[in-house]
């Protein structure tokens, strides 16, 4: 999709530190990490948010979660735990309208929703 930041990363037009890649997914480090480990997992196909992806292509949604689990394992997060976050829409704080799972961990993450 034109003018989508994450589609441009998929196309290689914008650089990213890729940590995992499949035919249908890409995982790369967040440019402004909020925790010691902060990786974004996306489907290479453009879908706006998690619900749009799950409705349009449930198998692909499952692949995104499976990759999130693989990234957590590879980053050493599974012993102490971690968080997978899908923001959606304005109130959800979604800045990039191409669905992405935030995989965050490596330190205590605090309350789920800040004060
Ligand atoms: P959202 O707020 O949409 O859930 O998350 C968007 C995330 O994308 C943010 O955590 C932000 O730091 C990250 N981000 C924004 N621009 C870039 C970029 O150009 N490269 C990478 N790797 N991450 C980005
Ligand atoms: Zn996109």
Report the alpha-carbon angle 68-23-51, nearest 5.
Answer: 50
**94 occurs within a structural domain:** yes
Answer yes or no: are the C-beta atoms of 40 and 102 closer than 8 Å.
yes
* 46 in catalytic set: no
In the chain, what are the helix, strand and coil shares in percent, each to the nearest 5? 25, 20, 50
Q: How far is the CA of 64 from the centre of ligand 2 (A)?
A: 15
Which atom of ligand 1 sits closest to the CA of residue 93? 2
pLDDT band at 115 (very low <50, low <70, confident <90, very high): low
Among all bound ligands, the one having the nearest atom to the CA of 33 is: 1
pLDDT at residue 65, rounded to an integer: 98
Answer yes or no: are the C-beta atoms of 95 and 4 closer than 8 Å.
no
What does the pLDDT look like over 74-89, one tens digit per residue? 999 999 999 999 999 9
Domains of the chain: total: 1
**110 occurs within a structural domain:** no
- State which residues form the domain around 92: 5-105
Answer yes or no: are the C-beta atoms of 72 and 40 closer than 8 Å.
no
Query: Can you tell me whether residue 21 is helix, strand or coil?
Result: strand
Q: How far is the CA of 69 from the centre of ligand 1 (A)?
A: 20
**114 occurs within a structural domain:** no
What does the pLDDT look like over 20-68, one tens digit per residue? 999 999 999 999 999 999 999 999 999 999 999 999 999 999 999 999 9
């Amino acid at each position: 999709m034109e003018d989508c930041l994450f589609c441009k990363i998929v196309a290689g037009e914008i650089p990213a530190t890729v940590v995992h890649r499949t035919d249908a997914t890409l995982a790369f480090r967040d440019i402004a990490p909020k925790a010691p480990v902060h990786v974004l997992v996306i489907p290479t196909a453009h879908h706006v948010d998690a619900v749009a992806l799950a409705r349009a292509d449930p198998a692909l949604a499952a692949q995104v979660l499976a990759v999130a689990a693989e990234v957590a394992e590879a980053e050493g997060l599974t012993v102490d735990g971690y968080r997978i976050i899908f923001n959606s829409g304005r109130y959800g704080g979604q800045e990039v309208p191409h669905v992405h799972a935030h995989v965050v961990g490596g330190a205590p993450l605090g309350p789920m929703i800040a004060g």
